[in-house]
A and B are shown apart, each in its own frame.
Chain A
Amino acid sequence: MNGPCIRFAGTSKFYGDVLGVMGVNLTINPGVTGLLGPNGAGKSTLIKLASGLLCPDQGDVFIGDRSTWGNSRLGFQIGYLPDGDALPDFMTGRRFVSHLLRFHGEGVRSARQRAETVLERVDLSQAANRRIRTYSKGMRQRLKLAQALAHDPQVLILDEPLAGLDPVGRRDVMALIRQAGEKGRTVLVSSHILHEVEAMTDQVALMRHGRLIASGRIPELRSGLQKQPFRIRLHVDRSRRLAAMLMECEDVIGVHVPRATYLDLETHSPEKAIEFLTGIAARGEACIHELGVEDQGLEAVFRYTVDR
């Protein structure tokens, strides 16, 4: 079953005079969506609004057709991973997860079984009976993920889930998040690490200064940036000669020759430019050793929209 969508309807939140988020209109659909932005962009505020921890000052936030604020029954559907520590140090990992499961009305035995299963999924079985205060940062992060996944919620709201994890832990957690998205859960993940978000999803929302500046699939967002042409870097034998030929192609809007064997071209239509290059290579007019479209990923989208 697909999870419900999270909908921000003109949502604003102010901390006194300070703007948290402003007029956000966004729909997060089933699947994984990355929430990106620099520090202070309002990502955590948006996440807390979505999980019902904060009350919006303007607009509203809905999960399905239910407002998240003051609707504690929705907690049954939400798995929330906070960015802070948020763990009671005096409990053991197993007890913590099973106690939280019992908040949803699980029986003692069923809660214990579920806790076992989810702790195994996040690779914490060995440390399940240890007090949380003895856990490393990575283990704490995995425990937070375990409590978010334990009751098999339809909506997962994860604030910096990869923070503090080692490379193996990151890979495992990313796989769990991808799996949840593939199962039809609605997953909202905030992160600073662009390539990891890109590895989990191509659906992103970008924030800056408390405002949502873009949302959608990465290729669509990139192609929508008309003022920012794609840059293709070529490793060739004779770059100047190829540059002269490329100037004849109407899809190429600029050519730079940084070194004798390298050539950068700018185009709004990389597919057509590559087709043109393929023709040249096929006719033997130039020898192309390497070709790469340099700024078509999330990093480029982030740079051109958020970082400008």
Chain B
Amino acid sequence: MTDRVPERLNSEYRRYTGPIRSRRFLAWWPITRTELTTRVFRWRYILLYLVAFGPLLFREAILYARFVIAPVQIRLMNEMTSSGMSRLMLWDQLDFYSDYLEDRVLWLFLLLATAVLGVPMVARDLRTRAWEIYFSRSIGRMDYFLGKFAAIFLVLFTLTWGGALSLYLSTSLLGPDADFFLHNLGWLFPLTLYSALLCGFLALGALAFGTLSENGLLLAGSWLGLFFIAFCIARVLRWVRPDGAFDWIDPKYLLMEASAAIHGHASTSGFPTWVSFLLLGFLTVISLLILAHFLRRQKEGIG
């Protein structure tokens, strides 16, 4: 039998003139809000956030001791100088704030946060097929990814840039120089730029990595494993080339080199700065290609 045109076909229905929600500028925001309120702000992650606030609280305590509890200052300075942490007392230099962004504990938080919160975001939606319902709404695929990216980015950026800003404000408020805030306002630019680079790179990588499988746990483990393997290889190669020519294999060194270039302090690795930016760019392109591949598979219906 051929296709039959139903009797009640009425051509007036063919043209739809009803309301259609206009495109909102922040169409991705509902996705971000959903992620933040239902997945990120949960009691089970309280320990993770406490770890994240550790470096900040430590530095805030130093500032408080330096400016408010004067008698403690001398002893603290002596102890820190003897333990090689004298940079922590250089509150009137940009290094004090950029050091915060390179803190090992903060770096550990960034890795754990991307593994626990970022990587499984898409994987869980793939497993439960919740994306079918999202995409059938007024949410485009780009909005979906932008929303997820923003959720991870906001968490990381709040802790990194927010922390550096809070240190800067604390120094301005507690310090002896009343004009400190205005005089050093220019410091905020490199701090913001590096924080955005650090968080954007990690958030995009985690998001792209999260599209590779439906198993969030496996992906989170693999994500941490990748960094650990890179770290180990870089350490082994340090023995072969003590000048650190292969340090770029370790993502932390890669980002620290970028930090050195942005903040204008001395490089601690043995490879040129352009290698750092080239590799960061390359990894960003790879992440974008993974996302594009995922979108194509979704469109084909084989994802």
Contacts and interface: CB of A to CB of B under 8 A. Distances in A.
Interface in B118-138: 124-125, 128-130, 132-138
A65 B11 CA distance: 11
A59 interface: no
B75 to A, nearest CB: 49
Contacts of B143: 72
A225 B20 contact: no
Contacts of A220: 4, 7
Majority-rule SS of B interface residues = loop
Interface stretch (A48-56, A122-130, A167-175, A254-262): A48-56
Contacts of A117: none
A88 B129 CA distance: 8
A88 B124 contact: yes
Contacts of A51: 136
B3 A25 contact: yes
A104 to B, nearest CB: 6
B83 interface: no
Interface string A28-49: 0111000000000000010010
B135 A53 contact: yes
A210 interface: no
Given A29-B9, A104-B21, A86 B137 contact: no
B7 A305 contact: no
A63 B27 CA distance: 21
Contacts of B69: none
Interface size range of chain A in the complex: 35 or more
A54 B136 contact: no
Interface in A1-51: 1-5, 7, 13, 15-16, 20, 25-27, 29-31, 45, 48, 51
Contacts of A2: 13
A154 B20 CA distance: 11
B183 interface: no
B176 interface: no
Contacts of B242: none
Interface in B1-58: 1, 3-10, 13-24, 27, 30-31, 33-34, 38-39
B140 interface: yes
A212 B14 contact: no
B15 A65 contact: yes
A102 interface: yes
Interface in A40-87: 45, 48, 51-55, 63-66, 70, 72-78, 80, 82, 84-87
Given A48-B301, A147-B133, A1 B18 contact: yes
A89 interface: yes
Contact of A99 (B6, B34, B125): B34
B56 to A, nearest CB: 29
B20 A74 contact: yes
Interface size, B (range): 35 or more
B300 interface: yes
A100 interface: yes
A81 to B, nearest CB: 9
B32 to A, nearest CB: 12
Interface in B230-263: none
B4 A54 contact: no
A193 B303 CA distance: 29
Interface in B277-303: 299-302
B95 to A, nearest CB: 42
A26 B221 CA distance: 48
Given A29-B8, A214-B4, A88 B18 contact: no
Contacts of A31: 8
A88 B128 contact: yes
B89 interface: no
A225 B140 CA distance: 44
Given A76-B21, A99-B34, A4 B16 contact: yes
B194 to A, nearest CB: 34
A1 B19 CA distance: 11
B139 interface: yes
Nearest to A91: B38
7 closest Cβ contacts across the A-B interface? A64-B16, A4-B16, A80-B136, A72-B140, A75-B138, A76-B21, A75-B137
22 contacts: A2-B13, A54-B301, A64-B15, A64-B17, A65-B14, A72-B139, A73-B21, A74-B20, A75-B138, A80-B136, A82-B132, A84-B129, A88-B124, A100-B133, A102-B30, A103-B134, A105-B21, A144-B133, A203-B6, A215-B4, A216-B6, A221-B4
Interface of B: 1, 3-10, 13-24, 27, 30-31, 33-34, 38-39, 124-125, 128-130, 132-141, 143, 299-302
